[in-house]
Structure 1
Amino acid sequence: MYRVLVPIDNDENRALRQARFVTNQPYDLSNVEVVLTHVLHGEERQAPPAMQTPSRVTTVKRAREHLEDYDVNVTIAEASAPPEDGILDLIDEVNADHIVMGGRKRSPAGKAIFGSVTQTVILESDVPVSVTG
């Protein structure tokens, strides 16, 4: 089983780009498991305990729906804060083979500069990291 870790933030378009990136890869999707993750913060942390789960976050739901439309096996895991540490911990916990980070839209020159979370994951991960645009 090829395991892809997909950290999702609160931008729905970015989450769908990440999910589409996975489903557009040339591998056999029946042998792929995607682990979606989301770090709960702000209002999400203020919700009642039963609602404090990444599976209730709209962006995670949308990414999951897209992946399941392609019959991809999806699990959801909560990453701890700060996000870069939580993501790096999950890489080992879920035995990820690949990480698909969501990049922000930037100018052509700005594309060479990643956000701090993405940059930390790229620099400190031992597995391949793809950044969607």
Structure 2
Amino acid sequence: MTDVLLGIDQNVDRAVTQAETMLDLFDATDLDANLLHDFVDNPEGASVKQVDSVKRARDILEDAGAAVTLREGSGDPAQSILDMAEQLDVDLICIAGRKRSPAGKALFGSVSQSVILNAERPVLTCGSPGDEA
């Protein structure tokens, strides 16, 4: 069984790309996909089951026969991804990169960059065609 952690943000197109990439790389019937959405700020108490991007990725993976578990975190998204990957001892982390200018990265940071630099396991970065900052 291949255990993967997909860090899913709010963007449905990026989540679809992540799910489809997992199906391109792995046999769905041998895939255990953990879909993590981090609520940086969640005053209304939303659930990961309510996030459209997570629901879309889950549907794609489950329809193909993959085992899917929904997970949620709070606080710093990069740290949530790293902590969950460590806790679950996954084989691979899959994140969705966003196109940002160098100034945008400096001002706002980069979840992808932080995960790539600090992960102790392979990280696959996916982007969606025409993705904008």
- Is residue 40 of structure 2 the alignment partner of residue 46 of structure 1? no
Partner of 1:5: 5
Is residue 78 of structure 1 aligned with residue 75 of structure 2? no
Give the 3-state SS of the residue equivalent to 1:10 in structure 2.
coil
SS of residue in 2 equivalent to 1:46: coil
1:29 is aligned with what amino acid? A
Q: Tell me, what secondary structure is at the counterpart of 1:86?
A: helix
Tell me by how many angstroms 1:105 deviates: 4.3
State the match for 1:92 in structure 2.
86
Q: Are the aligned partners of 2:40 and 2:76 in contact in 1 as well (CA < 8 Å)? A: no
State the 1:69 CA deviation.
1.2
CA distance in 1, matches of 2:122, 2:35: 16
Q: In the alignment, residue 70 of structure 1 is paired with which amino acid?
A: A
Q: What is the root-mean-square deviation in Å for CA atoms of aligned residues?
A: 1.8
Give the CA deviation at 1:4. 0.5
Identity of aligned residues (%): 38
Q: Given residue 12 of structure 2, which amino acid in structure 1 is its aligned partner?
A: E
Structure 1 residue 33 and structure 2 residue 32: aligned?
yes
Which of structure 1's runs of 4+ aligned residues deviate more than 6 A?
none
Q: Is the 8 A contact 2:96 2:125 kept in 1?
A: yes
Q: TM-score, normalised by structure 2?
A: 0.83
The Cα shift of 1:56 comes to 1.3
Residue 116 of structure 2 is aligned to residue 119 of structure 1: no
Runs (5+) with no aligned partner, structure 2: 128-133
Q: What's the CA shift for 1:92?
A: 1.0
Q: Aligned partners of 1:101, 1:20: CA distance in 2, in Å?
A: 13
Please, what TM-score do these two structures have when normalized by structure 1? Answer: 0.83
Report how many residues are paired: 122
Q: CA deviation at 1:32?
A: 1.1
